[in-house]
C-alpha cells in the first residue's frame, strides 16, 4: 500500500489516503515518485473544468525511479530514473502518422481506466491524466515514462514532465521565437516561468512578463524577463508603449481566460504570432472582427503540450539544465507534502506563487 492524494468527487477536497497498487502487468511500469509538480491542469480536473472520472488520484507532472516492470518491457529497467509523460503517443493514429504526437487521438486513454483501489473500501481509482503522480508510487504504461538523462536532479526533473516541455515548446515550436525578437508572456506561474526562461535561451531581445500579482515581478525578472507589466485594462497599450508602438513579435498566453487571450492578441504586432497555452473553460468566448483579422495579419494558434515530442525534446532540455541555461529549481516557490496540495490549489486560484513541488 502507498499514500496518495485522492479526489473523491469533482469539486470535493482532496483526501490523503492509502491505496492498493497492482503489480505491473504486461507492458506496464511501476514508479516510485521522487517529486510531483502541482499544475493548474490538476486544479482544472478537480473543479470540473476538465473531465476526469472519479474517484481519482490526480497529478501528471512527476519524476521518479522504476521499481518494477511487467512482461515485455524493455525500454526501462528497475533502478532507472524516469520522467512521467502524461500524453504518450500511440504511434498509430492519424495524428501520429502526421508526426504530430502531441495531438495523438489515444494519448488520454489511460485516464478512463481504473488502475488502483482504495485500501479502506476497495473502490476503484482512476489515474489523473493517466499518470496519478500525487502518490508515493504509480503504475503506468511503459510508453508513459521517459528515461531521464544524467546530470539532472531527480526531484527538479518533475517539472520537465509538463511545465518545462510546455513552455519550451510554446517558444520554440509554436511561437518560433527568433534571436532578437520580443515576446510578451501572460501569466507568471510554472508554465509562464518556463516560457520566460525558454525565451531567454532563444535569445529574445525583450521579454515582457504580465501578471495580475505585482509580487511576481521578482520571480519573472529572475527567470529572464526584461520588463514587468501588472495585468489590467490597459495591458496591451502598455506593451505597445514598450515596443515603440508596434507590439511584441510574439505573445504567449498561459492563463486560459478570454480577457488575457484577447489582451495577448492585441499586444502582438502586426504580422506577429500569438500562442495560447492556457486551458480555459468552454464558456470562455473570445471574439475578433473580420476586419482586424485581415488587417493585422497576426497568427493565433493553440498549443498542446508545447507541440512537443517528449522523446525528442527531453534530451535537449536536459542539455540546457546541465549547461546552466535552464534553472529548474528557480521555478519552485514551495516544496510540500501530499497534504499541502489543497493549499497549493488555493494559491493558484488566488494567483500567488510559481510552482509548488510535492517532494516524497
Number of domains observed in the structure of the chain: 2
Same-domain check for residues 58 and 189: no
In a domain, 319, yes or no: no
Q: In terms of pTM, does the model score above 0.85?
A: yes
In a domain, 317, yes or no: no
- Asked if the model's pLDDT at residue 353 lies above 90, the reply is no
Domain co-membership, 30 together with 62: yes
| Cell 529549481 -> residue | 329
Instruction: Find residue 211's DSSP bridge partners.
Output: 230
CA 313 – CA 315 distance, rounded (Å): 6
Query: Does residue 112 contact residue 126 with C-beta atoms inside 8 Å?
Result: yes
Residues 205 and 134 in one domain: no
pLDDT above 80 for 336: yes
Please indicate, yes or no, whether residues 205 and 250 belong to a single structural domain of this protein. Answer: yes
State the average pLDDT for the chain: 96
pLDDT digits (tens, 9 = 90+) for 223-271: 999 999 999 989 999 999 999 999 999 999 999 999 999 999 999 999 9
- Domain shared by 99 and 186, yes or no: no
Task: Look at residue 311 and tell me if it is in a domain.
Answer: no
> What CATH number did the domain enclosing 216 receive?
3.40.50.720
- Which CATH number covers residue 353? 3.90.180.10
| Domain match, 134 and 185 both | no
Same domain? For 138 and 172 the reply is: no
Residue 322 lies in a domain: no
Residue 201 CA to residue 143 CA, distance in Å, equals: 29
E strands of 39-134, at which residues?
56-57, 61-69, 81-84, 116-118, 124-127
User: What residue numbers bound the domain in which 353 lies?
Assistant: 2-148+328-359
Amino acid at each position: 500500500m502507498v499514500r496518495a492524494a485522492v479526489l473523491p468527487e469533482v469539486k470535493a477536497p482532496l483526501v490523503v489516503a492509502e491505496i492498493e497498487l497492482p503489480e505491473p502487468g504486461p507492458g506496464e511500469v511501476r514508479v516510485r515518485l521522487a517529486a510531483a509538480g502541482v499544475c493548474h491542469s490538476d486544479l482544472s480536473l478537480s473543479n470540473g473544468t476538465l473531465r476526469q472520472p472519479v474517484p481519482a488520484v490526480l497529478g501528471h507532472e512527476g519524476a521518479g525511479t522504476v521499481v518494477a516492470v511487467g512482461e515485455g518491457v524493455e525500454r526501462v529497467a528497475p533502478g532507472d530514473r524516469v520522467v512521467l509523460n502524461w500524453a504518450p503517443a500511440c504511434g498509430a493514429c492519424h495524428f501520429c502518422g502526421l508526426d504530430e504526437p502531441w495531438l495523438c487521438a489515444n494519448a488520454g486513454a489511460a485516464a478512463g481506466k481504473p488502475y488502483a483501489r482504495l485500501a479502506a473500501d476497495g473502490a476503484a481509482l482512476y489515474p489523473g491524466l493517466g499518470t496519478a503522480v500525487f502518490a508515493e508510487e504509480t503504475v503506468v504504461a511503459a510508453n508513459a515514462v521517459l528515461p531521464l538523462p544524467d546530470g539532472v536532479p531527480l526531484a527538479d526533473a518533475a517539472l520537465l514532465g509538463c511545465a518545462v516541455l510546455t513552455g519550451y515548446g510554446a517558444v520554440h515550436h509554436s511561437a518560433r521565437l527568433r534571436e532578437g525578437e520580443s515576446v510578451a508572456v501572460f501569466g507568471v506561474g510554472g508554465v509562464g516561468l518556463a516560457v520566460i526562461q525558454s525565451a531567454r535561451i532563444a535569445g529574445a531581445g525583450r521579454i515582457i512578463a504580465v501578471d495580475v500579482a505585482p509580487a511576481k515581478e521578482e520571480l519573472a525578472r529572475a527567470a529572464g524577463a526584461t520588463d514587468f507589466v501588472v495585468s489590467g485594462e490597459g495591458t496591451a497599450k502598455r506593451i505597445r508603449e514598450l515596443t515603440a508602438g508596434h507590439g511584441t513579435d510574439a505573445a504567449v498566453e498561459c492563463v486560459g481566460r478570454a480577457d488575457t487571450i484577447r489582451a495577448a492578441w492585441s499586444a502582438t504586432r502586426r504580422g506577429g504570432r500569438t500562442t495560447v497555452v492556457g486551458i480555459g473553460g468552454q464558456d470562455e468566448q473570445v471574439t475578433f472582427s473580420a476586419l482586424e483579422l485581415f488587417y493585422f495579419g497576426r497568427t493565433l494558434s493553440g498549443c498542446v503540450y508545447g507541440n512537443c515530442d517528449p522523446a525528442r525534446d527531453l534530451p535537449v532540455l536536459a542539455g540546457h539544465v546541465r549547461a546552466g541555461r535552464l534553472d529548474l529549481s528557480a521555478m519552485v516557490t514551495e516544496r510540500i507534502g501530499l497534504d499541502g496540495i489543497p493549499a497549493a490549489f488555493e494559491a493558484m486560484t488566488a494567483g500567488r506563487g510559481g510552482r509548488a513541488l510535492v517532494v516524497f
